Amino acid sequence: MSDVRQRATGRLLSGKAGRDDVPGAPVISTGRRGSHATTRGQGFSWVLSWTILGSLLPGLGLLAAGWRRAGGFLLGLSAAGLLALGWLAIDGDPLDRVQALVVAPERLLLVTITIGVIAVLWVVAIVLTHTQLRRYARLGLGQRLFSVVLVVALITGVALPAYEAGRYALIGRDLVDTVFQDTVDAETSTALSDTSKADPWAGVPRVNVLLIGSDAGESRIGVRPDTMIVASVDTYSGNTVLFSLPRNLENVPFPFGTPGNTAWPDGFDCGDECLLNAVWTWAEQDGSGYEGYKNPGLAATQDAIEGATGLKIDTYAMLNLKGFAEFVNAIGGLRVNVRERLPIGGDSTLGSPIYHVATGGWIEVGENQLLDGYHTLWFARSRWSTDDYSRMQRQRCVIGAFVGQVDPVTVALQFPQLARAAKRNITTGIPLRDLDAWVELSKRVQGGKVTSLPFTKDVVDVAYPDFGKVQKLVNRAIASSERAGRQPAPSSPSAKPRAPRAANPNKAQDVTAVC
């Protein structure tokens, strides 16, 4: 071998060969790269370490592999993204930002697209980083197989969360589009005048929502409201009064000027069948004056409840009771106090309590019981061994349990199941553009005090009701709730509590006190 060829070979073996080496000299890989890259390691552990680091912070591994421009660009994007997330986390309430996204379908679609783009770029960065790192390392067969498994695991760690986040965003978008209306049905709901204000409820001191539990079974004609509760909310404090109306209330008056008042100027008084929960069917079948309404049964029922309570109903939310169990199961059950043994199903056709038959078993007495959806539904509906008034109280207890037990974490974890149940079983008059304001109001309600005033047989004679008295009690309960919402919190937490007094059926009580 000539001296020139020996010198060239020596330069190659030492890793010092350059572009001016002798042509034709043998190429011997040293496992190192150019002077711009690191000269350490470059073995199996080196490849794994930089692959993992480059996956956690995209761009970092590419820098180690010698891809300065691409690595620097991705690293800059990664740093900017982390800074943006940090700013969002410390600037204001993160839940408020999530809320703003959830209530806007177009934002949810943009979020889905953004998540997809980021995930694709991230996966490409992982693959590119690993392939470029392996160019400078000699790996055995087992090491190469392990590297493939590692890359697949890293890609999965990026793709699965991105898929779930995108799926949640699309589910939320579909739910909002399905349940909430683009326009307001002025016959049954009232929209907010200005939702762009810092507090859209500033000019609305109180809002009244009709909560309806519908029982439109196959054996029934039309919708028969099984549960009718007016939730009157103080928008400042979130304090809420629940007014439960018995479904068998007779002679219900309609406000002057409504089609119901024209048809029934002396109240809905056609006989034993003209009960409050029959107004819906009357309006859909024979309701003179409601024929041109978008939802005649709902409009007539709201008119009747306005006439009975003296409250102007602003909007409604209706839940199909057959789907109620889905909601309870989705949140993992509901804890309630069962004060009396309740039959599941049953009949009392023989006319005596001793003949009550629980065709589906019993819900036994017990404190703080965790009931699944099926049993919670029957806890709220059972009446063969009790009466409608006991059932009204249990229904208010279920509402109170939902308000107190459902939290943002539970909703987030069970969101797909809750969304499916909501799509199938909930209708409301809340317009889409007002949704953000209503979500904010719901947070105030959770932080406020919920009281209830059921119009039981101890308060009103359902056959010959005194609606003047009913409206007087409604106004008194609302005034008491407003005063409580504007009083400062007690300054001394060690102050002795007042001794409990006997419940007054004519006054609203804390829901937890009667449950």
Nearest residue to 176 (alpha-carbon basis) of 419, 437, 441:
419
5 domain residue, yes or no: no
Single-letter residue type at 172? G
Give the span between the Cα atoms of 483 and 96, in whole angstroms: 28
Q: Report the CATH number that the domain containing residue 255 is assigned in CATH.
A: 3.40.630.190
Residues 6+ positions from 405 with CB-CB distance below 8 Å = 331, 334, 335
Q: Is the pLDDT of residue 272 over 60?
A: yes
Place of tokens 């069917």: 281
As a whole number, mean pLDDT of residues 61-77 equals 87
Distance of CA 292 to the CA centre of its chain: 34
As a whole number, mean pLDDT of residues 22-44 equals 47
Supply the DSSP string of 195-232, one letter for each residue: SSSSSTTTT-SEEEEEEEEE---TTSSS--EEEEEEEE
Q: pLDDT band for 259, please (50, 70, 90 cuts).
A: very high
Q: What is the pLDDT of residue 374?
A: 87
Label the pairing between strands 366-371 and 334-338. Answer: antiparallel
Distance of CA 170 to the CA centre of its chain: 14
Q: What is the pLDDT of residue 39?
A: 44
200 domain residue, yes or no: no
386 domain residue, yes or no: yes
Query: How confident is the model over 303-350, as pLDDT tens digits?
Result: 999 999 999 999 999 988 777 888 888 888 889 898 888 888 755 444
Phi-psi domain of 393 (left: phi exceeds 0; alpha: psi -120 through 50; beta: other):
alpha
Q: What is the pLDDT of residue 357?
A: 52
Q: Are residues 426 and 336 part of one domain?
A: yes
As a whole number, mean pLDDT of residues 49-58 equals 90
Q: Are residues 211 and 175 part of one domain?
A: no
Q: Are residues 161 and 213 part of one domain?
A: no
As a whole number, mean pLDDT of residues 181-185 equals 80
Query: How confident is the model over 213-228, as pLDDT tens digits?
Result: 886 554 445 567 878 9
Predicted TM-score (pTM) of this structure? 0.73
Of 176-185, 230-239, 323-332, 487-496, minimum mean pLDDT range: 487-496
Q: pLDDT band for 424, please (50, 70, 90 cuts).
A: confident
Nearest residue to 505 (alpha-carbon basis) of 366, 336, 342, 392:
392
Q: Are residues 94 and 243 part of one domain?
A: no
Q: Are residues 390 and 343 part of one domain?
A: yes
Q: Which residue has the higher pLDDT, 336 or 504?
A: 336
Q: What is the pLDDT of residue 512?
A: 66
What domain count does the chain have?
2
Q: Are residues 469 and 362 part of one domain?
A: yes
Q: Is the pLDDT of residue 423 over 60?
A: yes
Q: pLDDT band for 64, please (50, 70, 90 cuts).
A: confident
Q: pLDDT band for 18, please (50, 70, 90 cuts).
A: very low
Nearest residue to 208 (alpha-carbon basis) of 308, 67, 121:
308
Q: Is the pLDDT of residue 383 over 80?
A: no
Q: What is the pLDDT of residue 240?
A: 93
295 domain residue, yes or no: yes
Q: What is the pLDDT of residue 406?
A: 76
What percentage of the chain carries pLDDT values higher than 70? Answer: 78
Instruction: Domain of residue 386: give its range.
Output: 206-486+507-514
Phi-psi domain of 446 (left: phi exceeds 0; alpha: psi -120 through 50; beta: other):
alpha
398 domain residue, yes or no: yes
Torsion (CA) 283, 284, 285, 290 in degrees, nearest 10:
50
Q: Are residues 222 and 164 part of one domain?
A: no
Give the span between the Cα atoms of 420 and 422, in whole angstroms: 5
Q: pLDDT band for 185, please (50, 70, 90 cuts).
A: confident
Q: Is the pLDDT of residue 188 over 60?
A: yes
CB of 294 within 8 A of CB of 187?
Answer: yes
27 domain residue, yes or no: no
As a whole number, mean pLDDT of residues 378-387 equals 75
CB of 280 within 8 A of CB of 298?
Answer: yes
Crossing angle of helices 44-56 and 141-179, in 10° steps, is 10
What percentage of the chain carries pLDDT values higher than 90? Answer: 23
Residues 6+ positions from 149 with CB-CB distance below 8 Å = none
Q: What is the pLDDT of residue 381?
A: 79
Q: Which residue has the higher pLDDT, 158 or 15?
A: 158
